[in-house]
């Protein structure tokens, strides 16, 4: 005997319906000059140099290079103390401070790489370069904020990339 009620949707069907409804909002139309501005920006010698450095960083299969980092003794003691607490909590031996510092520096550099790859204007130099291209091409509305850039802080959300 057939059921009187329709069967409940599966998770995939429900997700698909959501994606076709509220979750599937169309992108805002892009600025008519955006593609042209991006190509001018990409052709700039500073950006070409950046692309070469980024490519080398992303595809570097070389061995790690040893560097020296100067750290205040109190901060090193803090790092060792926190590592002792964290390692005890999960039942492992504490990692040596040199390995912790290596991981911290590596994480920072990986984040820098990701940030610059996804939005070069997050760096003040490239934000100013982008803004100069926008100004020269009569599209100042596409300029990125640079208020915080003077402090080395990336601009807030957005950017053309």
**pLDDT of res. 22:** 60
Q: How far apart are CA 131 and CA 146, in angstroms?
A: 9
**pLDDT of res. 82:** 98
Q: Other CB atoms closer than 10 Å to residue 35's CB: what's the count?
A: 10
Q: How confident is the model at residue 67 (pLDDT cuts 50, 70, 90)?
A: very high
**pLDDT of res. 23:** 57
In a domain, 23, yes or no: no
**pLDDT of res. 149:** 44
In a domain, 90, yes or no: yes
Q: Per residue in 3-51, pLDDT tens? A: 565 566 677 777 777 667 665 566 667 888 999 999 999 999 999 999 9
Share of the chain above pLDDT 90, in %: 68
Q: Which two tokens stand for residue 4?
A: 């009187």
In a domain, 78, yes or no: yes
Q: Per residue in 113-160, pLDDT tens? A: 999 999 999 999 999 999 999 999 999 999 999 875 445 555 545 667
In a domain, 7, yes or no: no
Domain count, the chain: 1
In a domain, 52, yes or no: yes
Closest by CA position to 69, among listed 109, 124, 114, 122? 109
Q: How far apart are CA 33 and CA 84, in angstroms?
A: 55
Q: Which two tokens stand for residue 36?
A: 């042209």
Check if the beta carbon of residue 115 is closer than 8 Å to that of residue 159.
no
User: For residue 97, what are the domain limits?
Assistant: 32-58+72-151
In a domain, 22, yes or no: no
In a domain, 157, yes or no: no
**pLDDT of res. 29:** 73
81 or 31, which is more confident: 81
In a domain, 48, yes or no: yes
161 or 129, which is more confident: 129
Q: How far apart are CA 93 and CA 1, in angstroms?
A: 64
Q: Other CB atoms closer than 10 Å to residue 149's CB: what's the count?
A: 20
């Amino acid at each position: 005997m057939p059921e009187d009620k329709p069967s409940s949707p599966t998770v995939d069907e429900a997700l698909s319906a959501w994606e076709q409804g509220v979750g599937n909002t169309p992108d805002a139309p892009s600025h008519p000059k955006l593609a042209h501005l991006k190509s001018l920006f990409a052709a700039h010698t500073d950006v070409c140099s950046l692309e070469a450095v980024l490519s080398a960083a992303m595809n570097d299969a070389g061995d790690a290079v040893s560097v020296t980092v100067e750290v205040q003794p109190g901060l090193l003691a803090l790092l060792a103390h926190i590592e002792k607490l964290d390692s005890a909590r999960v039942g492992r031996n504490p990692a040596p401070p040199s390995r912790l510092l290596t991981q911290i520096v590596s994480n920072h550099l990986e984040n820098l790489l990701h940030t610059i790859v996804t939005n070069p204007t997050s760096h003040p130099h490239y934000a100013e370069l982008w803004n100069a291209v926008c100004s020269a091409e009569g599209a100042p509305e596409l300029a990125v904020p640079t208020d915080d850039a003077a402090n080395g802080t990336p601009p807030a959300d957005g950017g053309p990339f």
